[in-house]
Amino acid sequence: MAKIIDGKQSAAAVTDIVTQAAAKLEAEAGVKPGLAVVIVGDNPASHSYVGAKGRMAKQCGFNSMQYTLPEDTTQDTLENLVEKLNADPAVHGILVQLPLPGHLNSEPVIQSIRPEKDVDGLNVVNAGKVASGDLASGLVSCTPAGAMILVRNEHGADLSGLNAVVIGRSNLFGKPMGLLLLAANATVTMAHSRTKDLAAVCRQADILVAAVGRPLMVKADWVKPGATVIDVGINRVDAPEKGEGKTRLVGDVAFDECLDVAGVITPVPGGVGPMTIAMLMANTVVAAYRSLGRPIPTF
């Protein structure tokens, strides 16, 4: 029976460090870390995520700013707001909640956020720093950064001699996750929908990371006995046992059956998810410290 990773507990440890660092910055420099979140339109899931981020920012002692724009906001209006936030010294982190309404092009908006304020870690400058192995001066995308802390908690900072397989090659998660594992000295295989005999590739993994968005895809016979399994998938599936029309959240890993094979496994929900918001807070406090030329806290 695998050990189940408690993502909430790990996230709380990160936010404790963030809260202490924020309080120290305010006490010593009179500066509160400032996080500006921009949301466009009425997507209920996006509003739920933004609300959670705002509450966590306040809990950490940040100056939390939310900019809610109407559904019909133009590209120019959105980009002008980002430019204004770029120029505001009280704003250390800028996050534009995705997805944007269909008529807006998200890429130029994301790339217009100054790299030093890009707390989502999506600007090509920050992505490039991760790709080149420079993890010290950029901001790392929140979900892979959070997943790496969970891996590090189990295996330590040096993954030498361990085989890692990442299923999924998205710019948002798969690619940066693979690069972070590589930077920690793991031997990394990037697997995806075109990989031949995917199950056999996965069975070689001491660390198996699933991020494909296909519910319960990874079966028990894909998992090497004793492996660490990190499930990044969030999929909503029908749950008739809960009543007509009801759904439940599952990951990309068939959790119940893999529990008997893996050594360590993350649940969905309650695994990687809480780490994403925690690392957003960590990136914001790091950005605030850097803006003042202070040594950054470590997580």
For residue 187, give the H/E element and its range.
Answer: strand 187-191
Q: Which of 24, 88, 117, 120 is catalytic?
A: 120
Quick: pLDDT tens for 75-116.
Answer: 999 999 999 999 999 999 999 999 999 999 999 999 999 999
Q: Which two tokens stand for residue 173?
A: 């998660």
Do residues 288 and 92 make contact, with C-beta atoms less than 8 angstroms apart?
A: yes
Angle 142-155/7-29 helices, nearest 10 degrees? 110
pLDDT computed for residue 32 by the predictor = 97
* Cα distances (Å, whole numbers) of residue 295 to 135, 165, 287, 291: 15, 34, 11, 10
Known active-site residue 97: yes
Residue 271 pLDDT level (bands cut at 50, 70, 90): very high
Query: What is the set of domains in the chain, with CATH numbers?
Result: 28-116 (3.40.50.10860), 142-274 (3.40.50.720)
Q: Which of 53, 117, 129, 224 is catalytic?
A: 53
Do residues 166 and 192 make contact, with C-beta atoms less than 8 angstroms apart?
A: no
| pLDDT of 210 strictly over 90 | yes
Known active-site residue 9: no
Single out the residue of 219, 269, 257, 260 nearest to residue 3, CA to CA.
260
Q: Which two tokens stand for residue 134?
A: 């420079």
Q: Which of 97, 117, 118, 252 is catalytic?
A: 97
Single out the residue of 70, 42, 64 nearest to residue 52, CA to CA.
64
DSSP 147: H
Known active-site residue 53: yes
Residue 242 pLDDT level (bands cut at 50, 70, 90): confident
